[in-house]
Amino acid sequence: MTGTCPRDISQNEDMADPAETAILTIDLGALAANYQQLRDLAAPADCAAVVKADAYGLGMVRAAPALSNAGCKTFFVATLGEAQDLRALLPDAVIYVFNGLLPDTAEAFRASNLRPVLNSAEEVQEWAAYCTRVGDKLACAVHIDSGMNRLGLSTAEVNALASAADVWSAFTLSLVMSHLACADDPSHVKNAKQRASFDTLRTKLPDAPTSLANSAGILLGPDFTFDLVRPGIALYGGHPQRRGKNPFKSVVTLKGRILRIRDAEAGETVGYGATRTLRRPTRVAVISVGYADGIFRALSTKDDEDGLVVHLGARAAPILGRVSMDLIAVDVTDIPQDLSARGEWVEFLGPNVSAHDFAVHAGTIDYEVLTNLGRRARRLYIGG
């Protein structure tokens, strides 16, 4: 399966195996709370959950049942393989596949009771032909491109198919959907343009429930929620919009362990490439995580750069020099020694270091942060 069963450990890292050097904690209770908050924000629309890419890297095998227990009945994934894995976990869920119908896959959709999101006129016609051949009006979604120019039926394709009664009568149209390009920026004019385009084009197709909003789209308000919303990043504690306070609970905490403390003099350098020169006598903590654990090399700091700060308890400490594959150096000069001793834990992602702050310093987005967390850290699931 896509999400292999994790090796769980105790809920307190102080009780972890002494050999553990990194722990990734995933709070399924916070995940469920975020789903319920999104559901309430979108009401009276139904609220689905997007669990593609192994639940954004956090483990679909644990996340999907937690979401189902929180009341979610409809799920979206990217690929047919992900959908088949999800079906084994949730026999009764409604499951849509964003990437749609590849040639010769219709039988696999039918065998596992999965619903393709049809993204082109060719896919619509192929699904109709298959349903006619097997004599079964199978359910599917149709994706309209409202201005993103990725997947989805173009305006010309919608117009060409609008009167094809024999096509639409061959299957069950269970959802008409589109996707917003700029919902992370509430002031962007494209949001209203896409909503208007979707409103116009959907009326040309047979009547069916409609869906437009992802996580950020939900926060745009009731004009964007339609009949079904499809949150993803917000479920996992990411910030769906570019600015403002994140209203959703932190789900992920990544901690690395201090391997040693060393004293270095002013004028010495730290790490590969000698990119960081110390300006004062410094206590340097060497931590047991690196880019193999999802701590991007882009978080490295050069002279006179202010980079991401990590946390030892409530105390912040800046990263020094380059992030390497397995190790990161941190300035703990101003941290009490009882918090910054060999064997203590350092938070790189969690309640004090949000995925959004992490992403901003790395020049990327919350989505990439979560989906690139490595598999080396021991995974601890709590709550739920």
Enzyme catalytic residues: 52, 272
- DSSP letters spanning 175-227: EEE---SSTTSTT-HHHHHHHHHHHHHHTTSPP--EE---HHHHTT-GGGT-S
| Region of residue 209 (left: phi > 0; alpha: psi -120 to 50; beta: else) | beta
State whether residue 228 is helix, strand or coil. strand
Terminal CA-CA length for the chain: 21
Query: Distance between CA 33 and CA 19 in Å, rounded?
Result: 33
How many CA atoms, within 13 angstroms, populate the side-chain half-sphere of residue 46? 14
79 CB contacts (<8 Å, ≥6 apart)? 52, 97, 99
State whether residue 356 is helix, strand or coil. helix
CB 44 within 8 A of CB 59: no
How many CA atoms, within 13 angstroms, populate the side-chain half-sphere of residue 182? 15
Burial 315-336 (b: 16+ CB within 10 A, else e): eebbbbbbbbebbbbbbbbebe
Question: Which residue from 35, 37, 94, 28 is spatially nearest to 66, judged by alpha carbons?
Answer: 28
Estimate the crossing angle of helix 80-89 against helix 60-69, to 10 degrees: 60
Query: Distance between CA 292 and CA 102 in Å, rounded?
Result: 33
CB 192 within 8 A of CB 220: no
User: What is the CA angle 213-366-302, rounded to 5?
Assistant: 155
Query: Distance between CA 179 and CA 98 in Å, rounded?
Result: 11
Which residues partner with 277 through β-bridges? 269
Query: Distance between CA 364 and CA 234 in Å, rounded?
Result: 16
CB 77 within 8 A of CB 141: no
